Amino acid sequence: MLAQSLASEPPLSTETAPPTLTAEPPTEAPTADSSISQCAYTWAYHNADELGAMIDAEMRGLDPAASGNASFFGEDCIYADGRSTFGAMETDFYVRIPVNDLADEELFGIWISQVLRVVLDFPRELIQGNYGFVEFWFEKSEGEHVIVRVSIQRFKDGTHGISGAALFRMFYVQP
């Protein structure tokens, strides 16, 4: 009976025109109030201050010269009057780790495992949207570094038992 009821109903309109109270077309120009619900979306990053402080403290606990921060990635909805609202799609982390050897894949894999376990231990309610990634900067000097981006969900779902250099190679994309 529910299927018959659903099949006989007309499809919902995708138009969002405001309802009118009279049958005559409006004669006034739209006001700013009538466009409040309309906005332009743009990709955006916003600092995740609390998570940034947490990952930075954890990184410095592992190595005083290491650092970290976090951000939320999503969309800003920008209104005509300049206001904006933000909707987070994922939470991303960035870590910088000093190293002596840019070929030490075993060490890189150990760092990846340690840092991802730290991230996954953060309270889930602090993560906005989905888990994003952790971007690792293994830095020998200002101009010498290896960058690897690790999907948090992929790490969580598919790295059981993989460690060291094999873990690093699982995520590293050579430039």
Q: Stretch 89-114: mean pLDDT, rounded?
A: 97
Percent of residues, the chain, with pLDDT higher than 90 = 73
Query: For residue 104, what pLDDT band results from cuts at 50, 70 and 90?
Result: very high
37 vs 35, which has greater pLDDT?
A: 37
Q: What would the pLDDT profile of 22-33 be if each residue is shown by its tens digit?
A: 334 444 444 444
The whole-angstrom separation of Cα 135 and Cα 39 is 31
pLDDT of residue 175: 83
The strand order across the sheet containing 67-78 reads 40-47, 67-78, 84-98, 130-141, 144-151
Look at residues 65, 73, 131 and name the one whose alpha carbon lies nearest to residue 98: 65
Beta strand pairing call for 84-98 and 130-141: parallel
Residue 78, pLDDT above cutoff 50: yes
Determine the residue type at 127: I
Q: What would the pLDDT profile of 111-156 be if each residue is shown by its tens digit?
A: 999 999 999 999 999 999 999 999 999 999 989 999 999 999 999 9
Query: For residue 50, what pLDDT band results from cuts at 50, 70 and 90?
Result: very high
* Model confidence, pTM: 0.76
The whole-angstrom separation of Cα 143 and Cα 110 is 23
| Residue whose pair of structure tokens reads 């004669």 in the numeric block | 27
All structural domains of the chain with their residue ranges: 48-71+91-171
